[in-house]
Amino acid sequence: MSSSTLRSSTPADALSVSIRELSRRFGDRVVLNELSLEIAAGEIVALIGPSGCGKSTLLRHIGGLDSPTDGSIAIGGLPVTGLDARSAIAFQEPRLLPWRSITRNVEVGLPRGKRTSADRDRVAELLELVKLSSSAHLRPREISGGMAQRVSLARALARRPGVLLLDEPFGALDALTRLSMQDLLLDLHTAEPATIVIVTHDVDEALYLADRVILLGAIDPTESAAHASIRSTVVVPGLRPRDRGSGDLAELRAELLEGLGVPTHHLSAR
């Protein structure tokens, strides 16, 4: 249903992301350590890892909001040197402008310039998608935290980015809305295939959405959680939409949770 509403608009071209030996230090504190990752155009990659391990920092680097101490990043084969119109980020906090209505907040995501009627249609379409049409006129203080996150998602989609960067986009949502938003994101991905990098704390969410799940953290257990590189990569089998209760996924879930340091008491079939 939601994918058909978007089919009218020209689909964005998904772009590949290539991260080479990326290091980021804040002072003498190493947050990212020689991290390399290739993401194919149109792929959905989930980043998981303990709090403070550098997931948001990695996302900010891909979006050109922060520059690496060492290493390089390229989107679609061209290097990222600063703020970049090829990607759009939905921050960990909704970051809505409190004096603007929901509609006008989503408009911020459109490419700058004169607003045309096509722009208005685009915003209306996005609000419809994130189920906020009836709240379009409200101010941010009049909506709930989960609604605010949906506004932030719609804003990031507005400019049809080649790379969509989502930092815990569903973190503030209740379990039910979270599930329907995951399906919504997959619909969006079908309709407008962008490359998606999504940070999440929810292993099930990662396994449901992603082609690959990347577990970040310190490789050397004597280091702190920061000093992060890729600890393991899980290629999720099966085509989307996936069966949320699938047995294969249960195996992977246990593996990832162990990787995060959570004892699962899972009796492996192996």
Partner 1 sequence: MSTLRTRVVSLNSGTPVLERPLVGDVTGAPVPVTSEPRPRRRWVRATVLGGVIPIAVIVLWQAIATSGLVPSYRLPTPLSVWAAGVDLYERGVLYQHIAISTQRVLLGFGIGAIVGLALASIVGLSARASELFAPTLGALRAVPSLAWVPLLGLYLGLNEDSKVALVAIGAFFPVYTTVAPALRHVDAHLVELGRSYGYSGPALLSLVQLPAVVPAVISSLRLALAQAWLFLVAGELLGASLGLGFLLVDSQQNGRIDRLFLTIILLGILGKGTDSAVGLLERFLLKRWGS
Ligand X SMILES: Nc1ncnc2c1ncn2[C@@H]1O[C@H](COP(=O)(O)OP(=O)(O)OP(=O)(O)O)[C@@H](O)[C@H]1O
> Which residues lie near Mg ion (CB under 5 A)?
56, 92
Residue 220 C-beta: closest distance to partner 1, Å? 32
Site residues, ligand X (CB under 6 A): 26, 31, 51-57, 92, 226
For residue 162, give every residue at least 6 positions away whose Cβ sits within 8 Å of its Cβ, in sequence order, or none.
12, 13, 14, 15, 41, 75, 76, 86, 87, 194, 195
Give the residue with the Cβ less far from partner 1, 184 or 210.
184
Give the residue with the Cβ less far from partner 1, 177 or 195.
177
> Residue 54 binds what, of partner 1, Mg ion, ligand X, none (CB under 5 to 8 Å, by partner type)?
ligand X
Phi, psi of 208 (to 5 degrees): -75, -35
Residue nearest to ligand X (CB): 56
Give the residue with the Cβ less far from partner 1, 86 or 253.
86
Give the residue with the Cβ less far from partner 1, 111 or 261.
111
| Helical residues (DSSP H) of 89-144, grouped into ranges | 102-107, 117-129
Residue type, 131: K
For residue 217 the two structure tokens come to: 């953290």
Give the residue with the Cβ less far from ligand X, 132 or 256.
256
CA distances from 81 to 20, 62, 85, 184 (A): 14, 10, 11, 32
> Residue 57 binds what, of partner 1, ligand X, Mg ion, none (CB under 5 to 8 Å, by partner type)?
ligand X
Site residues, partner 1 (CB under 8 A): 63, 65, 83, 85, 88-89, 91, 93, 95, 97-99, 108-109, 111-112, 131, 134-135, 138-147, 155, 159, 172-174, 176-177
For residue 214 the two structure tokens come to: 């990347």
β-strand pairing of 228-235 with 212-218: antiparallel
